[in-house]
Amino acid sequence: MSRGTTRRDKITVAGVDKTFATKKGEVHVLDCVDLTVREGEFLAIVGPSGCGKSTLLNCMAGFERVSRGSIQVDGVEVTRPDPKRVFVFQETGIFPWYSVWDNVGFGLRDLSFDAKHEHVMKYIRLVGLEGFERAFPAELSGGMKQRVEFARALAVEPDVLFLDEPFGALDAFTRIEMRREIVRIWRETGKTCILVTHDVAEALELADRVAIMTRRPATVHSVLEVDLPRPRDSDDPAFRDMKDLIFQVLGVERRV
């Protein structure tokens, strides 16, 4: 991937407010959020837990409607979920009652069996799960389940991947492996990726740009360009400086 200088805007979030009605009255979650996602970029959204970054992602995916403002993809207002933009869930959303093959093929329709099989196997190979196509999710490790979910998402050939803390439920070693994996897949497929995480280091390892959100009611405080070469090293001084900067903006004391 060449680092774009004139990439066009893929998703535009403009003046978005989101309030939830609860028994104790209205909860104001998002407050006038502005954000632009460029085509083919890897954007990370970081913020404190519960600040509403997942809510923003849900609105961008069309699972929830904004209370005010607008979210547009390719200039068209988002009103509902669309297979062109696939959501990857925090703890995998793959179906435990389907085999790996059936999960990956879930979004594929109107294909002959042979065409579907070829397509499904292509994506099973892409995520490195060849030989497991007949296995059920319960027989797989957490990292493998996450791979299945990536394959299921990629199989419908979307433009955009929404990643809602996709590595949160994995152990530390698997998490590192899966981060490397998602960067590889992103580079091979050129999808636009939007990652929500509360892990600042993860955001810096993966993203071209990092949007920093404030506490609730949340807004985008600033967007940081991460112009570090890949593969990235979290012990690199420039990396650490950026991490410090983000923690400063978030108002968090990093040292324990």
Partner 1 sequence: MSGAQTPATWSRKVALGALGFVVAIAAWQLATWGNDITEVPGPRLTLLGLSELATDGVLWKNIAASVFRVAWGFCLAAGVGIPLGVWMGWNRDVALFFNPTIQMLRPISPIAWIPFAVVIFGGANFMLGGRILFDASDSSAIFLIFLASFFPIVTATTSAVRSIELKYLRSAANFGVTGLGLFRRVILPAALPQILTGLRLALGIAWVVIVAAEMLGVTSGLGFQVNDSRNNLRMDYVSAAMVVIGLVGLALDMAMSNLEASALARRGMSRR
Nearer to partner 1, 152 or 209 (CB): 152
**What is the dihedral sign for C-alpha 253, 212, 188, 159?**
positive
87 lies in the site for partner 1, by CB under 8 A: yes
- Residue 91 CB, nearest distance to partner 1 (Å)? 8
61 lies in the site for partner 1, by CB under 8 A: yes
The H or E element that residue 178 is part of is helix 172-189
- Residue 43 CB, nearest distance to partner 1 (Å)? 19
- Report the C-alpha gap between 229 and 92 in whole angstroms: 30
Q: Which of 22, 49, 97, 251 touches partner 1 by CB under 8 A? A: 97
Nearer to partner 1, 4 or 20 (CB): 20
247 lies in the site for partner 1, by CB under 8 A: no
- Residue 51 CB, nearest distance to partner 1 (Å)? 20
Site string for partner 1, 129-168 (x = CB under 8 A): -------xxxx----------------x------------
- Residue 254 CB, nearest distance to partner 1 (Å)? 32
Q: Which of 17, 34, 91, 199 touches partner 1 by CB under 8 A? A: 91
What is the size of the binding site for partner 1 (CB under 8 A)? 25
Structure tokens at 44: 């990370």
118 lies in the site for partner 1, by CB under 8 A: no
21 lies in the site for partner 1, by CB under 8 A: no
- Report the C-alpha gap between 197 and 68 in whole angstroms: 24
Q: What is the 3-state secondary structure (H, E, C) of 95-163?
A: CCCCCHHHHHCCCCCCCCHHHHHHHHHHHHHHCCCCCCCCCCHHHCCHHHHHHHHHHHHHHCCCCEEEE
Beta-bridge partners for 223: 211
81 lies in the site for partner 1, by CB under 8 A: yes
- Alpha-carbon dihedral angle through residues 109, 194, 220, 211, given to the nearest 10 degrees: -170
Beta-bridge partners for 71: 13
Q: Which of 28, 32, 67, 107 touches partner 1 by CB under 8 A? A: 107
Nearer to partner 1, 82 or 199 (CB): 82
> What is the bridge-based pairing of β-strands 9-22 and 25-38?
antiparallel
- Residue 58 CB, nearest distance to partner 1 (Å)? 8
- Residue 233 CB, nearest distance to partner 1 (Å)? 34
**What is the dihedral sign for C-alpha 47, 49, 51, 53?**
positive
Beta-bridge partners for 212: 46, 222
From its phi and psi, is residue 52 left (phi > 0), alpha (psi between -120 and 50) or beta? left
Binding site for partner 1 (CB under 8 A): 61, 63, 80-83, 85-87, 89-91, 93-98, 106-107, 136-139, 156
